[in-house]
Structure 1
Amino acid sequence: MNDVHDTTSAAHGFDFLHGEWDVANRRRTDFLDPESGWEEFPAVSRCWSLFGGAANIDEIDVPDQGWTGLTLRLFDVETERWSLNWSSSRSGRLFPPVLGRFGPDGRGEFHGDDTHDGKDVRVRFVWSGISETTARWEQAFSLDGENTWLTNWTMEFTRRRTA
């Protein structure tokens, strides 16, 4: 695999994520305030495949903050889009999915609707910088119908070395 991951089979778009990763998180202290500060914290993520690659689950452990998260990704064969479904041990509820796909450049963009602090938000996830040993995830919210985006969380993934 090179710097741009293989998107020749859309149903295998997330194969790059399988395995164990160290994750450097950087998150705004207030997701909706562009002036808010950032907090940084480490995590470990483990991802495995289901449905022959057309689904996967990852679990992220954030021991410094005392929570774990889970993403279930499902490939819709009919629409050729992925749904990314998130939950965490903090709430125990499934958040609304974001939907999208990877482009020919290997960048994945996924959008959905949610609420944050009582406000309706448009959500965007972007996967980029994908290689054998690295990947980047970014979350941004829009309050104005996707005219402007505020990035509020990034994760830099580095593949864990195997013994």
Structure 2
Amino acid sequence: MTLTVATPSAIHDFDFIHGRWTVEHRRLKARGLGANEWDSFPSTSYCEPRLGGLANVEEVDCPARGWTGLAFRLFDIETQEWTVRWVNSTNGVLQPPVRGRFHAGGCVLEGPDTDEGRPIIARYIWSDITPGSARWTQAFSYDDGTTWEINWVMDFTRVAA
């Protein structure tokens, strides 16, 4: 007996990120201190779907900074939320998940984490999504969501096939 589960169209929310990309990064050199000095560097990214769209895996290669990383995105049919987890080659630790949904302007995902031992709420925002580009922004709140500091921006440009 085969069980068929109806899947909502939201499982296709992250279809835009499938494929190959060049990525321009801007990352704060010091987080949580009110600093405004940024480090800029390039990377490449490749993402492919899994489980009929319920998941995708993105690999980021950043030779300019000597690391690679993997993002795991999973769609929870029951809650209608995406969960994203990250791991990189600098420490091999799977980071706590952020959760969220898409809306008219993109996607906001949030979750508790720590930054150098300090408790934070991490927020990932996907915006400016087009067939050839997208923006990912990371912000941390050190005061339980009252204020946010953007500390990482990634601008994606699709690599021509």
CA–CA separation in structure 2 for the residues paired with 1:75 and 1:35: 35
The residue number in structure 1 matching 2:122 is 123
5 Å matches for 1:5-154?
A: 9-103=9-103, 105-154=104-153
CA–CA separation in structure 1 for the residues paired with 2:146 and 2:19: 36
> Could you tell me which amino acid in structure 2 is paired with residue 149 of structure 1?
W
Which of 1 and 2 has higher RCO (CA within 8 Å, sep 6+)? 1
CA–CA separation in structure 1 for the residues paired with 2:31 and 2:158: 27
Deviation per CA, 1:68-88: give whole Å up to 9, x if none. 010000000000000000000
Identity of aligned pairs, percent?
A: 46
Root-mean-square deviation (CA, aligned residues, Å) is: 1.0
CA–CA separation in structure 2 for the residues paired with 1:33 and 1:57: 33
Runs of 4+ in 1 over 3 A off after TM superposition: none
TM-score w.r.t. length of structure 2: 0.93
Q: Is the 8 A contact 2:75 2:82 kept in 1?
A: yes
Unmatched runs of 5 consecutive residues or more in structure 2: 1-7
TM-score w.r.t. length of structure 1: 0.92
Deviation at residue 36 of structure 1 after TM alignment: 4.0
Unmatched runs of 5 consecutive residues or more in structure 1: 1-7
Deviation per CA, 1:47-90: give whole Å up to 9, x if none. 00001111000000000111001000000000000000000000
Secondary structure of 1:35 counterpart: coil
Deviation per CA, 1:81-122: give whole Å up to 9, x if none. 00000000001010000000101x141000001111110000
